[in-house]
């Protein structure tokens, strides 16, 4: 697959002292939905703005279909964008907002009308064309912004936290809608968010940003199941962390002495030799409670039980951490209560020895 967008050795600094983006190299395939995920200030929005043309890379070059675009003005790039607060023009009706990109492209009135109507139908706002943005709800405004970014048929659409202003239910609904529209018309989407569940729901691939550097770029399942480092493990999904020192290395596994005493067998990911400090990461749903495992078995006290319907969250005091979370799916057979001591265990493949 040929690279549709290519970031090549991009550095970006605003003040000449701090690099907000460091040595960024990303290839985006045509038709892909790529999410840039990270905490605020991690450089993800800056990356998006460089692609849109509102920021200039300090070093390196961005290619769109093989053409360097650093010197092309934003209005000539033909990239659609959905802004954080939609940036709908308040003095224009919905139709006028949508017709704007077509008018500046000197499209005939009739053609423009046809396209505007089609775009409005796509986001199911056909009868709202004559309203002003202020007369629409947040979700409707969001759809108008989406329709406006798509109406001039760009091959690439950028979205800068487009769902940030919506409430939870609407946000989830819009996630599916955007995902479906993407699948239907096959455009390339670069999406910025700090919400990991949003990223997991929608993306083909996710680039996890921290400190201006991509920590890991992979598909959602790999990011969740096989985080490369402790930041990714921490940022994506819930995660129990234990600290310790590598005692011995055995093939792809290693034996780790926990700081709180005891030892566990873990999958080696980000450590290489004995004597290294490591942070161990294990997902709450990968821990079994009360089973008779032969290895990686510990005893902990139940501090708190939280009933969540489909599953139960158990907070344990295990291995010197009283923030140790276990998720047990609710099959109606929870046999312990707060204050009890229970056995917990995990498979060596599920606990990953990462950097610290």
- From 46-54, 177-185, 251-259, 348-356, span contacting another protein (CB under 8 A): 46-54
- The DSSP secondary-structure symbol of 118 reads H
**Site residues for another protein, window 120-159 (CB under 8 A)?**
148, 152
Contact residue for another protein among 20, 24, 26, 52 (CB under 8 A): 52
Instruction: Give the C-alpha separation, 330 to 346, whole Å.
Output: 19
Q: Is 166 left (phi over 0), alpha (psi -120 to 50) or beta?
A: beta
Residue 104 CB, nearest approach to another protein (Å): 5
Smallest separation (angstroms) from another protein to the CB of 89: 6
Largest CA distance in the chain: 75
CB-nearer residue toward another protein: 190 or 246: 190
Per DSSP, 95 falls in state: H
Of the ranges 23-31, 82-90, 202-210, 214-222, which one interacts with another protein (CB under 8 A)? 82-90
* Number of residues engaging another protein in binding (CB under 8 A): 25
Residue-by-residue DSSP string for 230-272: HHHHHHSS--EEEEEEEEEEETTEEEEEETTS-EEEEEESS--
Tell me which of 34, 79, 159, 271 binds another protein, using CB under 8 A: 79
81 binds another protein (CB under 8 A): yes
CA dist., res. 89 & res. 188, Å (int):
25
Stretch of 1-9, 51-59, 169-177, 300-308 contacting another protein, by CB under 8 A:
51-59
Q: How far apart are CA 289 and CA 305, in angstroms?
A: 13
Decide: 255 and 263 in contact? Cβ < 8 Å. yes
The number of C-alpha atoms within 13 Å of 13 and in the hemisphere containing its C-beta is 8
Is 73 or 308 the residue whose CB approaches another protein more closely? 73
- Does residue 124 contact residue 143 with C-beta atoms inside 8 Å? yes
Q: Interacting stretch for another protein, rule CB under 8 A, among 6-14, 78-86, 134-142, 325-333?
A: 78-86
Query: Is residue 50 near another protein by the rule CB under 8 A?
Result: no
Determine the interface stretch with another protein among 96-104, 127-135, 215-223, 304-312 (rule: CB under 8 A). Answer: 96-104
209 binds another protein (CB under 8 A): no
- For 109, other C-beta atoms within 10 Å of its C-beta total 10
Nearer to another protein (CB atom), residue 151 or residue 353: 151
Q: Does residue 289 bind another protein (CB under 8 A)?
A: no
Instruction: Answer yes or no whether residue 104 interacts with another protein by CB under 8 A.
Output: yes
Per-residue CA distances from 196 to 24, 66, 192, 253 (Å)? 21, 31, 10, 29
The residue range among 88-96, 264-272, 294-302, 308-316 that interacts with another protein, by the rule CB under 8 A, is 88-96
Does residue 71 bind another protein (CB under 8 A)?
no
Place of tokens 């204050």: 339
Binding residues vs another protein (CB under 8 A)? 52-54, 73-81, 83-85, 87, 89-91, 100-101, 104-105, 148, 152
């Amino acid at each position: 697959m040929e690279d549709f967008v290519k970031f090549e050795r991009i550095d970006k600094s605003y003040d000449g002292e701090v690099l907000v983006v460091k040595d960024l190299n990303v290839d985006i395939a045509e038709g892909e939905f790529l999410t840039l995920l990270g905490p605020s200030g991690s450089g993800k929005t800056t990356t998006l703005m460089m692609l849109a043309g509102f920021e200039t890379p300090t070093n390196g070059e961005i290619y769109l279909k093989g053409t360097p675009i650093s010197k092309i003005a934003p209005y000539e790039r033909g990239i659609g964008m959905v802004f954080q607060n939609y940036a709908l023009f308040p003095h224009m009706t919905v139709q006028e907002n949508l017709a704007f990109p077509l008018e500046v492209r000197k499209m005939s009135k009739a053609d423009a009308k046809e396209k505007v109507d089609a775009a409005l139908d796509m986001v199911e706002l056909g009868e709202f064309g004559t309203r002003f943005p202020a007369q629409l709800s947040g979700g409707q405004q969001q759809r108008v912004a989406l329709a406006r970014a798509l109406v001039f048929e760009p091959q690439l659409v950028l979205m800068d936290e487009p769902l940030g202003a919506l409430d939870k239910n609407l946000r989830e609904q819009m996630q599916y809608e955007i995902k479906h529209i993407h699948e239907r018309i096959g455009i390339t989407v670069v999406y910025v968010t700090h919400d990991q569940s949003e990223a997991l729901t929608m993306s083909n691939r996710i680039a996890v940003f921290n400190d201006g550097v991509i920590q890991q770029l992979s598909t959602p399942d790999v990011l969740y199941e096989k985080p490369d480092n402790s930041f990714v493990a921490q940022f994506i999904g819930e995660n129990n962390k234990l600290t310790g020192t590598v005692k011995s290395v055995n093939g792809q596994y290693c034996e780790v002495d926990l700081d709180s005493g005891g030892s566990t067998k873990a999958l080696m990911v980000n450590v290489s030799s004995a004597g290294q400090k490591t942070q161990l990461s294990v997902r709450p749903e990968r821990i079994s409670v009360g089973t008779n495992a032969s290895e990686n078995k510990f005893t902990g006290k139940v501090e708190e039980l939280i009933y969540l319907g489909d599953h139960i969250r158990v907070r344990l005091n295990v291995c010197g951490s009283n923030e140790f979370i276990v998720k047990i799916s609710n099959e109606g057979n929870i046999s312990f209560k707060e204050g009890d001591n229970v056995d917990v265990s995990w498979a060596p493949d599920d606990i990953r020895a990462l950097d610290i």
